A and B are shown apart, each in its own frame.
Chain A
Amino acid sequence: MFERRLKAVAALLCGATAIGLATTGFAEIRPSLNFAGVTGLIDMPSGDVQSDGALSISKSQFGPVGRTTLSFQITPRLSGSFRYTGVGNWNRYTNPGDFDTYYDRSFDLRYQLAQEGRFVPAVTVGFQDIIGTGIFAGEYIAATKTFGGSVKVTAGLGWGRFGSYGAIGAPFGDRPAVDFGRGGTLRLGQWFRGDMAPFAGVEWQATPKLTFKAEYSSDAYEFEAGERRTFDRKSPVNFGVEYAPSNGVRFGLYSLYGSEVGLSAQIVLDPKKSATGGSLGPGPLPVQARTAAKTWGPDWVTDTGAQSTMRRDLQKILGHDGIVVESLAVAPTTAQIRIRNTKLDNAPQALGRTARALAAVLPASVEQFEIVPMLHGVPQSKVVLQRSDLEQLEFAPGGDGQIRDRAQILAISGPAPDGAVYANGLYPRFSWNVSPFVATSLFDPENPLRADLRLRARASYDIAPGLVLSGAVSTKLFGNIDTSRQVSDSVLPHVRSDANQYASQGDPAVEHLTLAWFAKPAPNLFSRVTVGYLETMYGGVSTEVLWQRPDKPYALGVEVNYVKQRNFDQLFGFQDYSVVTGHVSGYYSFNNGFHAQLDVGRYLAGDVGATLTVEREFANGIKVGAFATLTDVSFDDFGEGSFDKGIKLEMPLAWILGRPTQKVNKMTLRPILRDGGARLNVDGRLYQTVREYQQTDLDAAWGRFWR
């Protein structure tokens, strides 16, 4: 009897375990975004967070209120959002005939104070519109608890906008009025001051794809519904339904404030998950056994013919992966190969494939492989591998870590060893391509998104190792950037604020036309000199040196430029303005994926100051970061926004497609482009290219050595 009971209990337990395992992943309610593009309900925030590193774009519209928001989960608990809001009907009753839509940018930060536990809700404190004009400013504390795997309940307290309806008091005193001046500065004195109001809501995930939401909003929309009468706020209750066709995509339909229909679209990307699951290209050449190594006769050491054939055989193999063998030097026990990776998006993968090709081609006595990645004719570092380690670890469990432990990454400079055989036809070499692209002009209050479709022809002529002549010309196919009537009101030299003049008059535009010389004067010292039309707005001379040791996570650079402002038509003429500009730059890779850069120096308008850039980098090449520049230009002289700041995003195409390509989508988003704190844009800055083959970056991407 007892035994039967015991068996029944055991069976129940086993069943429960099995169900528990089987249902893992279904119990989770994915945190969704609200109309402000932050984790939340409909118009109210919640205590939830997105998964660490998640990057989202959302677009929402109800009545006259439209918002586009870019959010990033900076750390597991901290997130930031940049939002562009447009409110229509703005002057319908107050100043008829004046502009119709009010546009504004805002920036939020949120921090999760407590993660959800068995009895404890997730609690998040949030600050909305902290450095803009403050029209959308508000603070909140929101708590969210999951019940039964499909229901989430949120309750919160809000101040500012979130305390404007149904207030229950002002526990921390009155909210002081703040003169936001030129905008762009923190309004710490207002935080948690003034009326405090409760808000609440509930989400029910009926199926993995369908979620119903209802909430009570504490936002009175005092400006939009009150003062400006852009819509009629009849009720504090909002409800809606959301449909998520796939994990990262969600659409919603709502009723808001008893009078308006709302729509939203959300895209949430997790950089830690590859869009295609991983890399889809063909597998590598297997490591060949030494006993099966090709025989090259007794005199191969002195026979340059045999060595040339080895180089050709290597090129034949590596050409499949877009790897160019620049030179090969073979001694009885050591070989040095210099390669140019033109296709693979992952540096260790290029090293791994090169190592296997060497094992397939070189005589059995060659034990040590030195692989030297080259860029612009300059050796980036020297990766030393032992052939016997390749043979031993190709199939070893966790073999990537073991081969990394035995590999050496060393500094190098100078030409290939004596007796090296070189590829023919690398110098001089001409290459060109033509491709369309979209140029944009953002955040003009008259039209926040203008775009031109342009056609660009690029050409590059490699004269000798390190010496590159290159240029790009573009012409407009169609678009509306030239309809911009904005005139710069800057009191500084107009070093950037005439951007729309450049954008509308450059047809055709010589985007750049330069002669660049790259070199490595010492094993840890890289250099660059670029002369010509450096970028669309400036021409002149740009010089740079970078000190980088392969085994250090930091580097130091100095850049000095003398530039003259180009004519708006971007042909060959110059305007009167010229300046000496330059920076001392420090770079540091933290071992948690964060990267910092500090540039101190003189900017284009002659102002002196510093730029701090902090980026979170993923080994697959995705980067999300923010930067800010403070110089001796006063906030008043700078104008709207007070100082230069913005967001940077980089997304490799290989991550999206799963196929090897080195193309990267890059974006720098500034709320406003003005003349203070402006830097020269010159191609080929050293650090970003050099770092790829130094230890820190190689280690981060090393998992693909055996791919």
Chain B
Amino acid sequence: MTVRLVTALAVAALLSGCAASPLAQVALNKMGGGASSAAAQPAKGAAERWVTLVNRGVKFKAAQLSERDGVSIWAAKDGSQVFLRGPMLVGTRGFGRDLMSADAPTLAVLAAGHAHQRSYYDMDGTDTMIRHVYDCTAGSGDAKDALPGTTLLVEDCVSDLGKIRNRFWVSPAGSVVKSKQWVSQGVGYAAVE
């Protein structure tokens, strides 16, 4: 029994470097691919988007699973999910330290350049929910960073955890073509396009 526990401790310690540890990286890289044991499966022919976990260098397709109350849920092949309220990322499932819920501004608030607050809720390793409140400002991003035919909208936020920057590439029609948004300390940024 002791041997088992020591092995368990050793494995956990190796993994505890999280994204920095090669073992954890292998485990995490599997995300987005592989067979799904999920109860929730998108319908055939459902709309698809690309999701990139920027800090992990993982890119995968996610198909629309549902839409209710203005929130659409997009599921990868392995069953992990991304929640979008309009273009705003308000949840993830299956990425490790998931964004469990969020109080996010609308695109109109960002476009108007108002100062605002947003809250991210994630869980620590003991499954205790933690709320992170950020003070944010919004404005136009550098034109040279904009994708062709888009304008870049930038949301800069700061909390006791540090600074984050969400980016939204907006088409002339006002729809978000691509975004790069903060998920959590454990996951980093996710790009949706």
Chain A positions within 8 Å of B, measured between CB atoms, are 18, 21-22, 24, 55, 57, 245-249, 267-289, 317-318, 320-321, 346, 353, 357, 391, 394-401, 437-440, 442, 451, 618-620, 649, 651, 653, 655-656, 658, 665-667, 669, 700-701, 703-704, 706-707
Which residues of chain B come closer than 8 Å to A399, judged between CB atoms? 101
Chain B residues numbered 1-48 whose CB sits less than 8 Å from any CB in chain A = 1-6, 8-21, 24, 27-28, 31, 36-40
Which residues of chain A come closer than 8 Å to B13, judged between CB atoms? 246, 248-249, 267-269, 275
5 smallest beta-carbon distances between A and B, as pairs: A282-B79, A277-B96, A246-B17, A283-B93, A283-B81
> Does A703 contact B123, Cβ atoms closer than 8 Å?
yes
> Does B3 contact A284, Cβ atoms closer than 8 Å?
no
> Does A318 contact B125, Cβ atoms closer than 8 Å?
no
Which stretch (B62-70, B136-144, B146-154, B171-179) binds chain A?
Answer: B62-70
> Does B90 contact A269, Cβ atoms closer than 8 Å?
no
Partner of A665, one of B4, B96, B100: B4
Which residues of chain A come closer than 8 Å to B16, judged between CB atoms? 246-248, 269-270, 273, 275
Which residues of chain A come closer than 8 Å to B20, judged between CB atoms? 246-247
Partner of B39, one of A279, A285, A288, A440: A285
Candidate in B78, B81, B127, B128 with the most chain A CB atoms within 10 angstroms: B127
Partner of B121, one of A57, A397, A440: A397
> Does B39 contact A317, Cβ atoms closer than 8 Å?
yes
Q: Is the interface of B mostly helix, strand, loop or mixed?
A: mixed
> Does B8 contact A703, Cβ atoms closer than 8 Å?
no
Binary contact track B70-108/A, C-beta < 8 Å → 1, others 0: 010101001111010100001101111110111100000
> Does B17 contact A284, Cβ atoms closer than 8 Å?
no
> Does B9 contact A57, Cβ atoms closer than 8 Å?
yes
> Does A397 contact B39, Cβ atoms closer than 8 Å?
no
Query: Mind listing 12 A-B residue pairs with CB under 8 Å?
Result: A21-B163, A273-B18, A277-B186, A282-B39, A282-B78, A320-B38, A346-B127, A353-B39, A395-B101, A620-B126, A703-B127, A707-B93
Which residues of chain B come closer than 8 Å to A398, judged between CB atoms? 101, 103, 119, 121, 129, 131
- Complex Cα–Cα for A353 and B187 (A): 24
> Does B186 contact A284, Cβ atoms closer than 8 Å?
no
> Does A267 contact B1, Cβ atoms closer than 8 Å?
no
- Complex Cα–Cα for A585 and B56 (A): 50
> Does B40 contact A269, Cβ atoms closer than 8 Å?
no
Which residues of chain B come closer than 8 Å to A401, judged between CB atoms? 129
Chain B positions within 8 Å of A, measured between CB atoms, are 1-6, 8-21, 24, 27-28, 31, 36-40, 65-66, 68-69, 71, 73, 75, 78-81, 83, 85, 90-91, 93-98, 100-103, 119, 121, 123-129, 131, 158, 162-163, 186-187
Which residues of chain B come closer than 8 Å to A247, judged between CB atoms? 16-17, 20
Partner of B85, one of A22, A395, A656: A395
> Does B2 contact A286, Cβ atoms closer than 8 Å?
no
> Does B2 contact A669, Cβ atoms closer than 8 Å?
yes
> Does A274 contact B83, Cβ atoms closer than 8 Å?
no
Which residues of chain B come closer than 8 Å to A395, judged between CB atoms? 69, 71, 83, 85, 90-91, 101
Partner of B1, one of A288, A438, A655: A438
Candidate in B1, B83, B85 with the most chain A CB atoms within 10 angstroms: B1
Q: Supply 15 further A-B pairs (C-beta < 8 A) apart from A277-B28, A707-B123.
A: A22-B162, A274-B125, A276-B96, A277-B186, A278-B125, A280-B80, A282-B93, A283-B73, A283-B81, A288-B68, A320-B38, A398-B101, A656-B8, A666-B1, A703-B129
- Complex Cα–Cα for A394 and B68 (A): 10
- Complex Cα–Cα for A576 and B85 (A): 72
